[in-house]
Structures are given as C-alpha cells and as structure tokens.
Amino acid sequence: MSSVPFTTISSSLIDRLVLALESLTDGELAVDMLIASGERAIAPLEELLLQGKARTIAVPRCRAVRALGGLEARGTLLAYFEKCDLPADPVVLFAEDAVRSAVARELMRWREDEVFQSLLRAAKQRATVGLIESLGEFCRSEAIPLLFETLEDDLCRNAAFAALCKTPAETRGYAILSLQGRGGANLMGPAASRRRRATAELFRNLGISRGEWQDVSRLLKEEDPTVVISVAAVGFRVAPQEEFPAIVQALFRVAPKLNWLQEDEVIRLLDEHKALAHSVANQILADLRAHGQHVNWLSPAWRILWHLEPIEASANR
C-alpha cells in the first residue's frame, strides 16, 4: 500500500482502507491509517461492525474494532453489544466471539458504569474470554455471580478465576454462601463439578478464616482428588489440629485416583505432617493386609504408602 499524507486522505481512500482490513499483508497498516484519518473513518468502520455480516473469519471485523477504539468511538462500540444478534451458525458464532472479545477490550478505555453494565449484559448473553477479562478489570462485586457461573465454561474458566481473585473478600463470602446453600452459585452435583474444583482452588489461593473452615471442610467428602487436595491444603493451614487425621484420611481415600502430578502434591502435603501421616499409613497397611490385599506398584495409593512406610518386598508375596 503506497504512502499517502494523512491530511489528504479522501473518503474514497478511507473506503479502500476499510476494504484493506481483509488483507493479509496490509490489514495492520490499514488499521493505523484509518486511526490517523480521524473521525471521517468512524462511519464506514461502524457500518462494517454493526451492519456487516458475521463470518467464519473474524480478523477484518476485529481490526475494525481496534480502529474504532483508537478513534475513541465509544458509542459505536457500546452499540455493538446492544444491536448485534448472535449468529445461529455455531462456526460463525465461534468466530464472532473473537469480535465480542475485541470490543470488550477496546471498551476498557472507559472505566465507566455504563460500560460495565454493557459488558455484564453481553457476558450474560454469551461469555467470551475478552468479556470476562474486561469485567474482571472493574473489580466489582456485581460480576461475581456471573463469574462463578462461568467457571463451568472450559474456554472462559481461567479468565473467570483470575477475575474472581481480584475481589478476594467478596469472592470468598459468595463461595461460602454457596456452600451453605444460601442463594449463591450451585456447587453441588455432577453439573457443577468444574465449578466445585475452581472454588476449592479459590479457597486455596485466597485463604479462609478458621470460622469458615467448617463450611469448606465438607468438600473433603468429595470423590474428586482435585477438590480434596485443595481443601486439604487449606485445612492444614486453618483447621484445628484435632481435625488433621480426617484430612489425612481424605487424602488417602482419593489416592487411588491421583495422576502423577497430584501424587507428588499429596506426598508433599503428607511430608509436612509426617508423624501423623506415618501413623495413618500404618493403620491403612494393616487393614489392607488383613483383607489379603497385595502390593500394587501401579497404584499411586501403594506408592504413597511405601513413601511413608517402606513396604518389605515380602509383602508382595
């Protein structure tokens, strides 16, 4: 694309620049030139964003969004979430998610309540990574219920987790209410397994008080090793010592299901309380032998027992 003084850019050239947003070679340059063109570029960019048809390739419209952000076209960006319907075609919808994320990120130029409310409505309609990240930047408790719901979303989970960590006190309080069944997010049942895992990890990251432990400790009964390990790590920090045996027992209960990373983590936690873990391991070994069970080195449970209480080779016979 030839160089043209920005002061002489005509309307026809602006239209060509908008078309050039499709270009693999000149698309990024077109964004810069459109921003340099000033307010005259807003109308054709707005037409592309608001009237243009959603497609399986989102790059041109994402570039238009960046140009509109550079031109401070706040109204156009807000209008996108208010006026644009979600495509019915799932492939097109997946591509349009990139545009929705791009608009959300550009709107972060204005940290205003109107922008927050627009992002919140859009995320309730359909969450994207960019929308969740942008909501997190506001650090407002109104977004917490939505962020907890989004923990079930494989694509947005990490962004929602990071956003929740930015409001630690409010997030922890909401999670405790959820455990108590008092109008928070649903944390129980198979449909909430990912949310339950993320919530346990939030407790681990954010910390809890000793008074909150009684609610959190109920998660030790879970069969999911990820949940139990996170809650055990929290419990060893805040629970009364008389509850430590139950925590160790919970770790041994899920031990057969551990992957190799979790196995290392459980060993580390037990090593921090080795005397107690050694005593529990002895009891478990005695029970296993009483029931005629033999050593199985393929099982992480047996490997953890051996780590704590070396098992004689004769136990294998």
Confidence (pTM): 0.87
Span 108-117, average pLDDT: 97
Q: What is the mean pLDDT of residues 210-221?
A: 94
Residue 103 has pLDDT above 90, yes or no: yes
Model confidence over 61-88: pLDDT tens digits?
A: 999 999 999 999 999 999 999 988 899 9
Tokens for 131, please give them: 């929308």
Q: pLDDT tens for residues 169-212?
A: 999 999 999 988 887 788 887 778 899 999 999 999 999 999 99
The tens digit of pLDDT for each residue in 241-264 reads 999 999 999 999 999 999 999 999
Scored b (16 or more CB within 10 A) or e, 253-291 reads: bbbeebeeebbebbbebbeebeeebeebbeebbeebeee
Do the Cβ atoms of 64 and 47 come closer than 8 Å?
no
pLDDT class of 6 with cuts at 50, 70, 90: low
Across the chain, mean pLDDT equals 91
Q: What is the DSSP letter of 189?
A: S
| Percent of the chain's residues with pLDDT above 90 | 77
Contact 71, 38 (CB under 8 A): yes
